[in-house]
Structure 1
Amino acid sequence: MGYSTTAPDVWDESFEGRPDSLLSSDQCVINAEHYFVRGLIEIPVIGSDEVFSWGVWVSLSRDNFSRAADMWNTPGREAEKPYFGWLTTELPIYSPSTINLKTNAHTRPVGQRPYIELEPTNHPLAVEQRTGITLDRVRQIAEAVLHGNGENG
């Protein structure tokens, strides 16, 4: 129950193969200046034990990215404090834009993507993360994504 993007919105195929840029399934570097990790915005589904997930990218500072990369395969890494970041994935079904929403990336055990916690604002995505969504809303999201109003990758 979820959708995901393969790269931050600022990634361009022209960066591919450059020595100062990298795109993997979990990490991205652009021009040795911009650093990103992939994580999950998890939204509880009301009336069930299910969770809906958006696979998104957040930008991190160089220091936080380096620390996250150093700890990537370290058991116990979930004890790390959250890393502040900016959401760099546009989820077109939300208005206003989801680009540059403030986040905290919470590291989880090795093999699990970070949990992305949005700043508790009135943005519809942040509200959904705090309050949950119905199964009908999950169906609406699926419909929007399948008809090109979102990304699936």
Structure 2
Amino acid sequence: MGYSTPAPYVWDPSFADAPDCLLSSDQCVIKAQHYFVKGLVEIPVVGTDNVFSWGVWVSLSRENFSRAADLWDTPGRESEKPYFGWLTTDLPVYSPSTINLKTNVHTRPVGERPFVELEPTDHPLAVEQRDGITMDRVRAIAEALLHAADDESE
């Protein structure tokens, strides 16, 4: 019940060997100037106990990224105040684009991905996070993503 992207929208494979770049499953640094963490935009599925999750990347300031990295393995880190960030994942099933939506990143206990709270706007992703989606919408998202993957492999 989820979809995840391996890197922020601005990542380029040519960065992989650069000494000032890093891409792990949870953190990303580009040219020692741009900092990202991976988190989850969670959307309740109406009428169920299920949650649909988008695994997304959010850009953070250098200070907030450093703070999050310092506390990465520290028990109690979930008591941190949220970090402001910009969504840097293009989720193809939404229009307009999800790039640069304002977020708050809420740290969770060690071993859990952060929760990404979108600014409460009228963007369709923000509306779905607030109001939830139906199982039919979950199926439509899965179908759209499957077709997009098929198109890329052709």
2-structure distance, mates of 1:22, 1:91: 22
Matched residue SS, 2:78: helix
Where does structure 1 lack aligned partners over 5 or more consecutive residues? none
- Residues 3-152 of structure 1 aligned to structure 2 (within 5 Å): 3-148=3-148
Alpha-carbon distance between aligned partners in 1 of 2:27 and 2:50, rounded to the nearest angstrom: 27
Equivalent residues of 1:86, 1:102 under 8 A apart: yes
Supply the RMSD in Å over aligned alpha carbons: 1.0
CA deviations over 1:16-37 (Å, ceiling 9, x no partner): 1211000000000000000000
C-alpha separation in 2, matches of 1:84 and 1:50 = 27
Q: What is the rounded CA distance, in whole Å, between the counterparts of 1:82 and 1:125 in structure 2?
A: 20
Q: Any idea what the Cα deviations from partners look like across 1:82-128, whole Å, max 9, x if unmatched?
A: 00000000001100000000000000000000000000000000000
List, as ranges, runs of 4+ consecutive aligned residues in structure 1 with deviation greater than 3 Å.
none
1:149: Cα distance to partner?
A: 6.8
The count of residues paired between Structure 1 and Structure 2 equals 150
> Residue 63 of structure 1 aligns to a residue in which SS?
helix
- Does structure 2 conserve the Cα–Cα contact (< 8 Å) formed by 1:93 and 1:149? no
Q: TM-score when scaled to structure 1? A: 0.97
1:16 counterpart SS class: helix
Identity of aligned residues (%): 79
Amino acid across the alignment from 1:73: D
- State the one-letter code of the partner of 1:107: T
CA distance in structure 2 between the partners assigned to 1:123 and 1:46 by the alignment: 19
Alpha-carbon distance, 1:135 to partner: 0.3
Inter-partner Cα distance in structure 2 for 1:106 and 1:81: 7
What 5-or-longer segments of structure 2 have no aligned partner?
A: none
Q: Distance in 2 between matches of 1:141 and 1:75?
A: 35
Compute the TM-score of the two structures, normalised by the length of structure 2.
0.96
Q: One-letter code of the match for 2:37? A: V
Q: Answer 1 or 2: higher relative contact order, Cα 8 Å, separation at least 6.
A: 1
